[in-house]
Structure 1
Amino acid sequence: MTKPPFRADHVGSFLRPKALIDARAAFKEGRVDAAELRQVEDEAIRGVVAMQEGLGLKGITDGEFRRTYFHTDFLLQLNGVEETGGTQVKFHNHGGTDLEYAPPVMSITGKVEHARDIQRRDFEFLASVTRQTPKVTIPSPTMLHFRGGRDAINADAYPDLDQFYQDLSAAYRAEIASLADAGCRYLQLDDTNLAYLCDDTQRENARKRGMDPDELPRLYARIINDSIRDKPADMTVCVHLCRGNFRSSWAAEGGYEPVAETLFNELAVDGYFLEYDDPRSGDFAPLRHVPKNKTVVLGLVTTKLADMESAEDVKARIDQAAKFMPLDQMALSPQCGFSSTVHGNDIAMDQQAAKMRLVIDVAKDVWGEL
């Protein structure tokens, strides 16, 4: 593929180097200022860009090195959005030991507005230090609805939820227009909620918050479509579905069947990054709903474990997926980022690079030169 998503691609985040983690701690403690922190971030981003280009990747991110969480750092820059504690969740892992963790909940305390450019400056720096296609990853607009529901949206600001959905989409359109004006042509929306709607426990939790889990996929497709409706024709927009990615643990399980028809046929994106690294993501049968004009990037290589998959096993999984959709509409990536939060997964830098080499080598074998 000459345009994104690429045959060998990735979700976006990479493990933070120690110098960056130390600088972030120093900033929090007041020992360095914002300008000094940004200098360290810039240098770290140059390094992660060089790593990606050295491996042969065509889509390049900044590793999300300027963020603490994949979503809050972005969402809190919208007017009307505040962080109000967390929702306690059990995160599961392959070791069988649950992690008790409360991901931050965003509350709507006033009218949602796009008051300033959020990612433009960061994109412009990334574009200046890569020779390949720079990709921007931002949280899906649905992240401001699912975890809190009606109770997290101020009724004085929004007695009518439809107005909230309209304002939210308008704020995203403004940010996407800003990025497009800066030259961004590869955008990814990171969405945990459509994947959580594949999990029976999460669906029941949604009901307890007053939401209908059967109707939410259509609502979320409408919000996302409204958010991206004015994008340039040559901008590729993909969505990444994630079941939780915190310190090698996850929060949800279940195959894509409950959301598949809406996901693939009502959501007006160009491609999908789907987790498929282990049985918690279900089988490939939902891929039968993928229409002819869309690409599915199969996340067959896990970022949660250091153990290396074999190239033969990954190729066999691709063959299984090809029973449900054309091979030519597929690509390959890790199942998620390596560091969706600053904490990172339980994997080493060299193992991270080895995982990406595997993705690239298998993609070359299956689809030819990248």
Structure 2
Amino acid sequence: MQPVDQHGASPDVSFDGGDLDCGNGLLLLIRKHIDPMARGQLLEILSTEISVDEDLPAWCRLTGNDLVSWTKAGKQRSFLICKGKIEERAEAPAPPLQPAIVAAIAPAQPVTQRPFKPIPPLAVTGIGSWPRPRWMTQAMHAYVEGKLDEAAFHETADDAVRLVAAAQERAGVDVMTDGEQRRDSYASFVATRLDNCQLIPLTDLLPLVDDPEEFERELRALDVPAADVRHPAIFGRIGRSRGLALHELDFLHGVSDKPIKIALPGPYLLTRTMWMECLQERAYESREELAADIVAALRAELADLMAAGASLVQFDEPVLSEVVFSGPKSRPSFMCGALSESQGPDYELTFARDLMNAVLDGAPRERTAVHVCRGNWTPDESVALSGSYAPLLDTLAAMKVGGYLLEMCTPRAGEMELLRALPDDARIGVGVVNQKCSHTEAAEDIEARVRRAVDLFGAERLLLHPDCGFATFADNPICGSGSAEEKLAAIAKVAAALR
């Protein structure tokens, strides 16, 4: 498209991107402005960066937004973009207040004090996520895109959580989760809860990697739906003016009288996910500086969850596997979208350990745990990471958690005996079914794994669960809800017999 002398229409929203290019933050600013707009509305982008002349039209084609026109006067450029197709402009309404802005101005959430329920030996629990009904996924997309207000979104999510709780009750689990129904994924959902943070499509971030075309090929090979997966982006210093998962706990207390587990993304995972080089000189000078604010937010969240009666708070740190099992000769991994820096295993594992211990400092150890797996975005086992826990044991043992919920059913996880190196006073959670398998494992196979774990760790220390969640990403569940219920019921039946 050639530049014109002037635009034929007036923009609904305008911002100045200065000399930023698409690989250095401009796309993040575009997403910040365009997401709260209604389809059919016009966004004007001012820019003095010459590379935007080619990169912005390519972004429009990739994301399905129309480039209406652009002008050029000396170094100054003006691009007029329609959100969606220009044909949708006729009756475009005023944009609603987007969730990320609501989060920034929301008052602090009060904490209802509750006693916690202890978790019995051989307790059965899910890791966290559960397949969302189609109507829940649709509501989630509408909410993230600013088309559905927060109250309506949570009404819909409440119904979905009731279904998940009922399924777990039928299966006979001992420790409940809410299935992460309100989350787009196990980790990136924090972008809808933290101040100055927003979810953006993974495709928007392609220009931020060294080789976008190679990254796209990697995602296709790994079966990652890049157009559906969203990623957290930061537009300023992050803060926690409301709970990340406290509302999930409060609602679940109202529909279940069993012990409740809340899963949170770990501090190292969030730092690796949220840090991008283009943040330098705009929000944070280094990822260590970002990590300090992440630790502060998670410490506050952990304290509120403890006060509100969570029996167990589980921190998910699957990216630790990426640190030790993904290298220049390995297949690429999709633990963090492969966007952030890594300074080598020794530094990264020490960094992860220190971040976790900073979050846990002063918390009741016996009510905290860490979960590690080797990737759970696709049922295709061949594209996930593989390797025993041996290179992670020192790091895990040095984390001041009271429990370890670990992938152990898949042969990719190595030998269970290695876990004896973990602290003797910590509870050990062992994956005894593989959520990626389409069939439910035979009772005798589950029982054999459980008996082996009892022999190694003792029944008093043991927790039983699937290797990982049933639907890490809302748009890409590993299995259906019926299969999830059957697998938990199979574990519960074996556990009951052994008790």
For the aligned pair, the TM-score class normalised by the smaller chain equals: 0.7 to 0.9
Contact kept, 8 Å, 2:124 with 2:495, in 1: the verdict is yes
For this pair of structures, how many residues does the alignment match?
A: 361
Q: CA deviation at 1:303?
A: 1.1
Classify 1:101/1:64 alpha carbon distance in 2 versus 1 (closer, same or farther; 3 Å): same
Secondary structure of the residue aligned to 2:465 is strand
Counterpart among 292, 301, 314 of residue 166 in structure 1: 292
- Match among 186, 189, 201 for residue 70 of structure 1: 186
Residues 1:129 and 2:255 are matched in the alignment: yes
**Inter-partner Cα distance in structure 2 for 1:7 and 1:48:** 18
Note if contact 2:173-2:489 (Cα within 8 Å) is conserved in structure 1.
Answer: no
**Cα distance change of structure 1 residues 198 and 362 upon mapping to structure 2, 3 Å threshold:** farther
User: Which residue in 2 is equivalent to 1:278?
Assistant: 410
- For residue 221 of structure 1, the aligned residue among 353, 363, 369 is 353
Higher radius of gyration, 1 or 2: 2
The CA deviation at 1:305 is 1.9
For 1:58, the equivalent position in structure 2 comes to 174
| Structure 2: distance between partners of 1:122 and 1:309 | 31
Give matches, 1:1-370, under 5 Å.
2-3=118-119, 7-24=123-140, 32-82=148-198, 85=202, 86=205, 88=215, 90=218, 98-102=222-226, 104-107=230-233, 109-147=235-273, 151=277, 153-155=279-281, 157-159=283-285, 162-201=288-327, 209-231=341-363, 233=364, 236-249=367-380, 251-263=384-396, 265-321=397-453, 324-366=456-498, 368=499
Q: Which runs of 5+ in 2 are unaligned?
A: 1-116, 207-214, 333-337
TM-score by length of 1: 0.84
Q: State the one-letter code of the partner of 1:127.
A: H
Find the residue that maps to 2:479 and give its secondary structure.
Answer: coil
Between 285-294 and 192-201, the greater mean CA deviation after superposition: 192-201
Partner of 2:123, secondary structure, is: coil
User: CA deviation digits over 1:31-69, x for unaligned, max 9?
Assistant: 754322322211221121122123222211111111111
Q: Root-mean-square deviation (CA), in Å? A: 3.2
Runs of 4+ in 1 over 6 A off after TM superposition: 28-31, 202-206
State the secondary structure of the residue aligned to 2:391: coil
Q: TM-score, normalised by structure 2?
A: 0.64
CA distance in 1, matches of 2:384, 2:170: 33
In structure 1, what is the Cα distance between the partners aligned to 2:476 and 2:404? Answer: 23
TM-superposition CA deviations, 1:327-359 (whole Å, max 9, x none): 542221111111111124353332221101111
Amino acid at match of 1:54: R
For residue 80 of structure 1, report the CA deviation from its aligned partner: 4.9
Query: How far apart are the structure 1 equivalents of 2:174 and 2:459?
Result: 20
Q: Single out whichever of 252-261 and 76-85 deviates more from structure 2.
A: 76-85
Cα contact 1:82–1:106 (8 A) shared by 2: yes
Residues of 1 paired with 2:290 and 2:275: CA distance?
Answer: 12
Query: What is the alpha-carbon distance in structure 1 between the residues aligned to residue 192 and residue 147 of structure 2?
Result: 24
Structure 2 Cα separation of the partners of residues 347 and 338 of structure 1: 6
Which 10-residue stretch deviates more, 152-161 or 65-74? 152-161
**Alpha carbons 1:150, 1:210 under 8 Å: kept:** no
CA–CA separation in structure 2 for the residues paired with 1:210 and 1:261: 19
What code does the residue aligned with 1:8 have? V
Q: 1:100-149: CA deviations, max 9, x gaps?
A: 44465545553333232222222211111111112221111112333476
Contact 2:190 2:232 in 1 (8 A): no
Aligned-partner Cα distance in 2 for 1:63–1:261: 31
Mapped contact 1:188–1:238 kept (Cα < 8 A): yes
1:244 shift after superposition: 2.0
Identity %: 27
Which amino acid counterpart does residue 255 of structure 1 have in structure 2? S
Contact 1:196 1:203 in 2 (8 A): no
Higher RCO by CA contacts (8 Å cutoff, separation 6 or greater): 1
Contiguous gaps of at least 5 residues in structure 1: none
User: Per the alignment, do residues 286 and 108 of structure 1 end up closer, same or farther by CA in structure 2, a change over 3 Å counting?
Assistant: farther
